[in-house]
Structure 1
Amino acid sequence: MSGATLLLDIGNSSAKWMYVDAAGVRNQGRVDTHTMVAELGESLAGATVLVSSVAAPDIQEALHAELAALSKSVWFARSLASLDGLLNSYEDPTRMGVDRWLAMLAARQRVSGRVCVVDAGSALTIDLLTADGRHEGGYIIPGTALMERSLFADTGRVRDSAPENTSVAPGRSTAEAVSHGLMLAQAGAVRMAMSLAEAQGERPQLLLCGGGSAQLAEVLDLAYDPVPNLVFEGLLRQAELEVPGLVDYPQVSSVLFAKSD
């Protein structure tokens, strides 16, 4: 993949990756975080690597060294106090998860008004932005897998097979009651956040991203825009602004990701 740009969104257990160049997205996928470098292997050679990572600092340091040994260059995004009209609400901006920061940075490019960014992953994060780019604050809630593990951790009971359907209807078995209840909690949190935000002013435009967003969307009776690559969009945008010339082709983010108002 010489000459391409590799985007990495690294979580605690898995990492999403995407290769882009001037023509657009060349390839993408998901790998285990612990085997990521080995699995990407020779395709790192000659690539510029842009990284969003919520891993611990020591893990990031080791990862940086591994990637730098194989690629053309490596750049890690970080949460800032402000950038491109986005104003961080945290007293210590570095304490904000960089994935949340990048998703909001990208949301600013897509939406000119007030916006609610929901990322359904290992955790469900909900962040609100004013029309002028000020972060109003947000919520962090365990995702469905974390909720499920917590629910069954101390019961000593073998769980029945989870139903294949996604629903918030009352469950008629323990497995259904748990599965549907988890989705009810996730959807309910988003609905309440949107309701509280609307009570304070302009109704936000809802953007959904993250690995669990499609499942959440099935039970969420709210208008929304699916933006599965929002973190990658923000990653490209921040790299273009902070390190001009790092990406081989100018303004690639505006080419790859069309604005939606």
Structure 2
Amino acid sequence: MSQADTIMSNPKLLSELVQLTSDAGDVILKIYHSDNFNVQNKLDESPVTAADLAAHHYIMAGLKRLTPSIPVVSEEDANSLSVAHNNTCYWLIDPLDGTKEFINKNGEFTVNLALIEANKPSFGLVGVPVANHVYWGGNRLGAFRQLQNQLEDASYIQCVKTQIPIRVLASKSHLNDATKQLIDQLGSSTLIQAGSSLKFIRIAEGLADYYPRLAPTCEWDTAAAQAVLEGAGGSVKQASGQSMVYGKADILNPHFIAMGLS
């Protein structure tokens, strides 16, 4: 039995992981509403805030308590990257995905926890702090959405067949010329812009159809939401058509296409 199966078959553990994701969102919101973000730039010039770091420490402590045998890779701990190269099963987390959206205060940021097994995301949790929603699921496990803080209130979510005009998602921060050209080639389409891993979630909920990403992302940006989308019947493939691979020597993803039911 995979670790993902173990989690889904253990209601108490699943509930605690969902609660951890929700509570990490509350940690972020306290700083979000304080206006004291303490914004700094990492070596790659990407921003990091006090909320990124606070959520990182909260999630790390929670996962150590709930799943002590599973190591963790976090965006906010560069030293943890080696974990992925030495383990076939590990957590991959982005404590605050959409830091630019957080700084701009548009609410479109998420908390991402993904379980990686054999170089694939087998299970993922995505929290949306501003909406107080948590999504979770994985390939062959289904996909679910909790609107409040009770696991029994969870509802099943599923992709829908592609609509015409096709509803295309694009990043608010990274809508480049290559992406615009690809969207033009699709024919009749409606453009929907969203931040962070919410783009995957919109497809999983049946609210969008297609998300081409022809700009840089890292593995922690996509893994959790990919698992949820696959659980909802969708797919995430490299632009070449090959499967996404996690735990690579280079943490950057190739260009990819996420979509619902064809």
Query: TM above 0.5, one fold?
Result: no
Larger Rg: 1
TM-score (norm 2): 0.27
